[in-house]
Structure 1
Amino acid sequence: MGIIVGAGFASGQEVMQYFVAFGVDGIWGVVLSAVVMTIMALIILQLGSYFNAGEHGEVFRRVSHPIFSKILDIGVVITLFATGFVMFAGAGSNLNQQWGLPLWIGAVIMVVLVLAAGMLDVDKVTTVIGAITPFIIIFITAASIYTLVEGNFSPVEQLDSAALAVGTTLPHWAIAAINYVGFNMMVAVSMAVVIGGSMFNPRVAGRGGLLGGVILGFLIIISALTLFATVETVGHDDMPMLTIINNLSPIAGQVMAVVIYGMIFNTALGMFYALGRRLTATKPERFRPVYVVTVLVGFVLSFLGFKNLVGWVYPILGYIGLLLIAVMMVAWFRGRVRIYKESERRMRIVDLLQIGHDGALNEAERKALQKDIQDSNLNEEQIRAATSK
C-alpha cells in the first residue's frame, strides 16, 4: 500500500484524472479498479514468495514467454524510473501549494531523504515504507467521511457537468479503470515481488496482499466519492485532497501536507530502491553507486511538472500494465495448486526445522524433512537462508 499510495493518490490527482473526470460513470470505474487491484495484490505477493524472488525479473522469466518477459522487464524498469521522478515533482508541488515554497526545495529535500534511506537493506526499507502508510489511511478516511456526511453539495447533475470539465487524457471510464490497475501494478510489482520474496510462506504473503488490496480499494472508492462531491471547488488544483482538508481545518491541512510528503517519500524510495536492485541484479555490489546516479537523473527530469506528468506518463505506463495483469493472472491460475501444496510443504519444513533446533529429530521426522526439501521448488540453500531470518 505504501508503494502505491504515493503523490498521485494521496494528493487526489490520480483519482481525479482516472475516475472523477468521467463524472458519474467514473464511480463504476472505481469499483472495477478496486476489485481487480485486490486480486492482483494477492497474486503478485504470492508469486514473489513462491519463487523466493529477489527482483521482478526472476518471476517474469519463470511465468511467461521470453519475449513477454523481456517486454515486461523493460516496461517495469521504465515505470520505476518514471514514477520515481514524478514523485520528486509531487514533492515540489506539495510544499509549493501548502507553504508557497519554490518547487525545487521540496524536490531537493526528497532527493536527500531517498538517497539516505536507500542505503538501508530491504527489511529496513519495507519497515520505513510501512510505518508511514497508516497516517494517510487515517487522514483520507477521516476527511472523506466528514466531508461526505457534513457537506452541502450541489445536485448530482451539476457535479457531473463540473467533473466532465476537469478533462483527462483517457478515452473511456472502463479503459481508465483497467489502465489504473495496470499502471499501479507496474509501479508496485517490482518492490512487491521483493517484499513477497522475503516471505517464506506463499499463503501468508497472499493474505497480506489480499488485505492490502481490500484497504486500498476502500481508500480509492471513498476518495473518488469525496472528490466528486467537491469537484466544483477542487477540480483544477494540483493537490485536490490537500485542498479539501485545508478547507476543513487549516491545522489538519498542515499535518496532511506533511503526511502526503511522507507518502511521496514512500513511493519514491520504493521505486528507486527496486530499480537499483534490478539494474544491479548480476552485480549487487554496485547497487549504491547505481542507486545514487538514477536518483539524481530522476531529480533533473522532475521539473517537467507534476500535473502534466500524471496526466501523460501514468496512462502510457498503464497500457503496458495490461500485459502484466494478463501474464500474472494466467501464471497464478495455472500454478495455484502447486502454490498451495508448496505453502503446506514450507509450513511443515519450518515446523520440523524448529523441532530440530529445539531438540533432536527422530528418524521419521528427519526423512520427512529431507523429502519436503527435495520436493520444494527451492533448493536447500535457499530454504536454509529463508528460514534462518
Structure 2
Amino acid sequence: MHRFMQIMKIAMAFVGVIVGAGFASGQEVLQYFVSFGVGGLWGAALSGVVMTLMAIIILQLGSYFRAGEHGEVFKRVAHPVFSRILDIGVVVTLFSTGFVMFAGAGSNMEQQWGLPLWVGAILMLALVLAAGMLDVDKVTAIIGAITPFILIFIVLASVYTLLTADVDVAHLDAVARETVSTTLPHWTVAAVNYVGFNLMVAVSMAIVIGGTMFHPRWAGRGGMIGGLIYSAMIVLSALTLFAAVETVGTHDLPMLTIINELNPVLGQLMAVVVYAMIFNTALGMFYALGKRLTAARPDRFKLVYVVVTVIGFGLSFIGFSTLVSYVYPVLGYIGLLLIAVMTWAWLRGRNQIGEESMRRELLNTLLGRRDRGRLAPEEERDYRQAVAESNLPEEEIERAHREDSHS
C-alpha cells in the first residue's frame, strides 16, 4: 500500500504540474487542437502518447540522480552546449509560463464574477508567495491534491456536452477552423509542439518531484500512470470543445462556459477549481525557477523567489489568450530539443537505471533489517558492495531510507 500511495502521489503531482490554467480552462486545447478541426483530435491523441513516454523518462532520470533542480540532470546527460541551451530555455519557460498564470487568474475572475483583471492577479500573487515558503514535499502534496478536482469537472463537462450536443462532424470541422485562431501551421506540428511546450513547463518541477523518489522504478510507474491520466484528459477535452465549438470557440475559458451552462452552482465551483489549477502551475513554475536561480546559494531562495514572482506579476497584464497564442508555441519549438536530449539520455542509460533501481530496493531492505538489529555479517558485506556500486553517496542513501521509513 505504501508503494502504491507513493506512485500515485508522483502521478498526480506530475499531472498537476502540466494541467494548469491553459489546459483546465480549455484555452490550450482550443488553440492547439480544436482550431484544426477533426485533424486536431488525432493530434490530441498523438500528444498523449508521447507525453506518457516522456513522463516515464523524466521522472526516472530525476529519481536516478536524486535531483534537487533540473540543472543537475542536464549537466549529466547532455553535451555542455546543449545543457546550457536547455537550461536557459527552461528558465525562460518557467518565468514566461508563470506570468501567463497571473493573466489567467485575472481572466478567470473577470469571466465568472465580473471582477477587474487585477483583482484575480493580486490574489494569485499573494497565494503563490505564501505557498512558496514551504518545502518541496509540501509543495508536491499541494500540487497533487488539487488535481483530482479538475479531473471530475472535465469529465462532467465532457459527458454533458457529448450527450446533449448535436454533433455534425463536417459542420463542426468547418466552424472550428473558421472560429478558433492559431499561430501554428498544421495539426501534426501542433501536436509535437504541444508536447514540447508542456515538457518545457513541466520538466523542472517534474525532475524535482522525481528526485524525491528513492526508487527509479516507482518513479517510472508514477510517470506512466500520470501520462495515461493526462492522455485521457486531453483527448476528452478536445472532443468536448470540438463538439461545443460554436458556443465556446471565442471564450478565454471555454471549459468554464460549458460547466456554467450545465449548472450555475457547478459553474461557481468550476471557477474556483480552475483558479486552483492556475495556482498549481504558477506555484510550480516560480518554485522551480527560484530553486534553479539559487542552486549555488540556496540561502537566497526566498528573496529570489519573491523578486521573480513580483516581476512576473507585473508582466501579466498583456492578456491571457494573447500570451497563450504567441508565447507557448515558441517555447514548444525549444521543447523539441528537450525531447531529443532526454530520450537519448534515458535510452543510453536505461540499463544502469534498471540496475540502480534494484540496488536501491536491496539497500532499503538491508537498512530496514539493520534498523531492527537483524543484519547478518554476509548482509553487511552485501550492503557495503551495493553502496560502492550505487551512484549515490552512502549518506544520501541512508537519508533517503529514513525519509521513506517515516513517510
* TM-score greater than 0.5 by the shorter chain: yes
In the alignment, what sits opposite 2:27? 13
In 2, Cα distance between equivalents of 1:64 and 1:382: 24
Give the 5 Å matches for 1:157-236.
Answer: 157-165=170-178, 166-236=180-250
For residue 78 of structure 1, report the CA deviation from its aligned partner.
Answer: 0.3
Match of 2:123 among 109, 114, 135: 109
Q: Tell me if 1:245 matches 2:245.
A: no
| Normalised TM-score (structure 1) | 0.99
In 2, Cα distance between equivalents of 1:235 and 1:151: 15
Give the 5 Å matches for 1:88-167.
Answer: 88-153=102-167, 155-165=168-178, 166-167=180-181
In 1, Cα distance between equivalents of 2:337 and 2:226: 22
In 2, Cα distance between equivalents of 1:383 and 1:302: 42
For residue 125 of structure 1, report the CA deviation from its aligned partner.
Answer: 0.4
In 2, Cα distance between equivalents of 1:143 and 1:370: 56
In the alignment, what sits opposite 2:377? 363
In 2, Cα distance between equivalents of 1:111 and 1:68: 33
Provide Cα deviations, 1:95-148, integer angstroms capped at 9, x if missing partner: 000000000000000000000000000000001111110000011012202211
Match of 1:373 among 363, 373, 387: 387
Give 3-state SS (helix, strand or coil) of 1:388's partner.
Answer: helix
In 2, Cα distance between equivalents of 1:142 and 1:375: 50
In 1, Cα distance between equivalents of 2:183 and 2:17: 24
Q: Tell me if 1:65 matches 2:79.
A: yes
In the alignment, what sits opposite 2:10? none
In 1, Cα distance between equivalents of 2:374 and 2:166: 70
In 1, Cα distance between equivalents of 2:140 and 2:181: 36
Match of 1:78 among 92, 99, 105: 92
Give 3-state SS (helix, strand or coil) of 2:213's partner.
Answer: coil
Consecutive aligned runs of 4 or more in structure 1 exceeding 4 Å deviation: none
Equivalent pairs, count: 388
For residue 151 of structure 1, report the CA deviation from its aligned partner.
Answer: 2.3
Give the 5 Å matches for 1:253-292.
Answer: 253-292=267-306
Q: Which amino acid aligns with 2:113?
A: W
For residue 250 of structure 1, report the CA deviation from its aligned partner.
Answer: 0.8
Give 3-state SS (helix, strand or coil) of 1:246's partner.
Answer: helix
Provide Cα deviations, 1:321-374, integer angstroms capped at 9, x if missing partner: 000000011111111111111000000000000000011411100000000010
In 1, Cα distance between equivalents of 2:77 and 2:39: 35
In 2, Cα distance between equivalents of 1:124 and 1:156: 45
Q: Which amino acid aligns with 1:343?
A: S
For residue 384 of structure 1, report the CA deviation from its aligned partner.
Answer: 1.7
Give 3-state SS (helix, strand or coil) of 1:359's partner.
Answer: coil
Match of 1:35 among 43, 46, 49: 49
In 1, Cα distance between equivalents of 2:156 and 2:225: 20
Unmatched runs of 5 consecutive residues or more in structure 1: none
Match of 1:332 among 346, 352, 376: 346
Give 3-state SS (helix, strand or coil) of 2:31's partner.
Answer: helix
In 2, Cα distance between equivalents of 1:234 and 1:151: 13
In 1, Cα distance between equivalents of 2:44 and 2:235: 6
In 1, Cα distance between equivalents of 2:373 and 2:394: 20
In 2, Cα distance between equivalents of 1:256 and 1:131: 16
In 1, Cα distance between equivalents of 2:335 and 2:184: 15
Provide Cα deviations, 1:262-313, integer angstroms capped at 9, x if missing partner: 0000000000000000000010000000000000000000001000000000
In 2, Cα distance between equivalents of 1:96 and 1:7: 14
| Aligned alpha-carbon RMSD (Å) | 0.7
In 2, Cα distance between equivalents of 1:326 and 1:366: 41
Q: Which amino acid aligns with 1:324?
A: L
